[in-house]
Amino acid sequence: MDLNLKLRADILEYSLFIETLINDLLLLNLGIYDEKESTRLFSNKGKLTFQNKIDLLCDIEVLSKDENSEFELLMNIRNKFLHDLECNSFQVLLSQLDNGIVNRFKKYLDDEKLISNEGDCEKACNKLFKKNMETIKNKIKANKVIKENTHKFYKLHNEQIIFYIDAIHDLLEKVSIATENSELENPKVAILGEKILQILEEAVTKLNTESKKIHFEDFFNSNENMKSLFGIKSGLNDLPKWTDFRLSNSNNTDN
C-alpha cells in the first residue's frame, strides 16, 4: 500500500503549526502569558482537544463561526490523513467526507481548478492552511490593539483625575488669596470673609489629604493590582509601570 508519506507529512506540518498557534491565541485571550507549562489544560499534558480550544475561542467571541469552521475543516483533513492508513490521497479523503465538508473545501480551489485533480486539491489545502494562519495573525494583532487602547484609556482617565484635582486646588487658592487681600471694612462682611477663608482652608486640607489616600503610585506599582485591572490571570513580565500613567505636572509638584 502506498502510504503517501510526503502528503501526510505536509498535513501534519500544517496541523502542528495551527494547533500550537491556536493554543497561544487562547492563552493570550485568557490572560495567561508566561505560565502555560504549569497550567492543567494548556501544557503538553493538558486535556483540552484542538476542537475544545477553537470552540472556546468561538464562545468568547475571538473567532467567528466562519473562522471556527475553517479551522475545523483543516482538522477534519488532518484527522483522516493521520489516523486512516487507507486515506492516502485527496480523492480517497473526499470520497469519505460528507457533501457539506467537501463543498466547504471546494471554496479553496483556485479558479478553474478541479476537485478531481490531486495537485489542485493539495494547493487548496495549502491555501486553507495559509488562511488559518492569517486569521490567527490578525487575531493576535487585534488583541495587541485592545491592550494598547486599554492602557491609553487608563492613562487618560488618570490624567483627567489629576487635572480636576489641580483645577479645584487652583480655584480654592485663588479665592483664598482674593479674600485675604480684600478690604473688608464692613464688620459683617469681614466676618463672612473670615468664614469663607476658613471653609476654603478646610477644603484645601481635605482635598490634599483625600488625594494622598488614593495612592495611585502604590496601586500601579503592584503586579497583583495591575493583573486585576487588566484581567490578567498569570504573571506578566512587561506590565505597564506607574510612570506610563502618571501625569507629569511641574505646577502640582511646586505646590
Q: What is the mean pLDDT of residues 79-90?
A: 93
Mean pLDDT of 105-112: 94
* Residue 217 CB contacts under 8 Å (≥ 6 apart), including other chains: 242, 246
Whether 253 shows a pLDDT value over 50: the answer reads no
Name the pLDDT band for 120 (thresholds 50, 70, 90). very high
Residue 145 and residue 228 in contact, taking contact as beta carbons nearer than 8 Å: no
Q: How far, CA to CA in Å, does 37 sit from each of 23, 24, 43? A: 12, 12, 5
**pLDDT for res 240:** 47
Separation between Cα atoms, residue 121 and residue 11, nearest integer Å: 12
> What pLDDT digit, counting tens, does each position of 208-222 carry?
676 555 555 555 566
Render pLDDT for 43-69 as a digit per residue (tens, 0 to 9): 666 678 889 999 999 999 999 999 999
